[in-house]
């Protein structure tokens, strides 16, 4: 998901991701990583697009009613049709990735990435929702030393409202930041992820089976 966040930065996109990996991986691994990141972004986009479909249908129905009331002639309808065909033939993800990147100023802290997506929400209505979900960090009142601590009973229901997965992500991130920089074995990492996925699937089957026996 971190790589998806990099791609959603209009100053970087996939080109920056490829640039960063050129010194660490061979061409095949770089291509594989780009495809996986691109596919992940597309899946998130498709999910949001599916949820927005009902709203879009309602808006189209309103457009038809307006056209009927205004008694638009065929020429005007044809111009409107031609205006929207190019946008429909290319998804927002494709249009975003193929558009020129934003310029990078010397003061990198002045760029408001969420503000950029808010301004460009009319151009990328669905992809802007994806960016908001991926880039926005949930606010929490838990102190950082408590979130990163693994001491006994530091994180309990009375001191935190974080979900277990969020706490796990914070602890893992803390450990990663403390490690010395070293090349990542992408293939080994992918293999490990597949093993964890298989374990999660097996645990889910066991839980479903136990629930079935109890019922």
Distances (CA, A) of 56 to 6, 53, 62, 152: 29, 5, 10, 50
If the chain, 215 residues long, is cut into consecutive pieces of 10 residues, what is the mean pLDDT of each piece? 87 89 87 91 90 56 47 59 55 91 74 90 93 74 53 51 72 73 73 83 80 67
Q: Is the dihedral of CA 198, 204, 206, 212 positive or negative?
A: negative
Contact, 37 vs 4, CB < 8 A? yes
Contact, 92 vs 48, CB < 8 A? no
Q: Which distant-in-sequence residues (6+ apart) come within 8 Å of 10 by Cβ? A: 96, 101, 102, 113, 116, 120
pLDDT of residue 103: 81
pLDDT of residue 197: 84
Could you give the CA distance from residue 14 to residue 8 in angstroms, rounded to a whole number? 9
pLDDT of residue 58: 47
Instruction: Output the six-digit token pair for 174.
Output: 């803390």
Q: Where are the domains of the chain?
A: 1-136
């Amino acid at each position: 998901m971190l790589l998806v966040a990099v791609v959603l930065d209009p100053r970087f996109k996939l080109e920056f991701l490829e640039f960063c990996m050129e010194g660490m991986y061979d061409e095949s691994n770089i291509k594989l990583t780009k495809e996986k990141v691109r596919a992940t972004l597309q899946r998130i986009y498709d999910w949001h697009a599916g949820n927005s479909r009902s709203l879009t249908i309602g808006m189209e129905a309103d457009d038809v009613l307006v056209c009927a009331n205004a008694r638009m002639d065929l020429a005007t309808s044809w111009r409107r049709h031609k205006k929207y065909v190019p946008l429909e033939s290319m998804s927002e993800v494709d249009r975003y990735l193929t558009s020129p990147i934003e310029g990078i100023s010397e003061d990198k802290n002045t760029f408001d990435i969420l503000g950029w997506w808010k301004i460009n929400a009319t151009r990328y209505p669905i992809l802007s929702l994806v960016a908001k979900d991926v880039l926005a960090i949930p606010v929490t009142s838990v102190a950082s030393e408590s979130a990163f601590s693994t001491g006994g009973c530091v994180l309990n229901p009375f001191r935190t409202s974080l979900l277990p997965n969020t706490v796990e992500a914070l602890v893992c991130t803390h450990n990663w930041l403390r490690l010395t920089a070293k090349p990542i074995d992408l293939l080994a990492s992918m293999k490990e992820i597949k093993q964890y996925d298989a374990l999660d699937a097996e645990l889910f089957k066991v839980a479903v089976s136990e629930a079935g026996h109890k019922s």
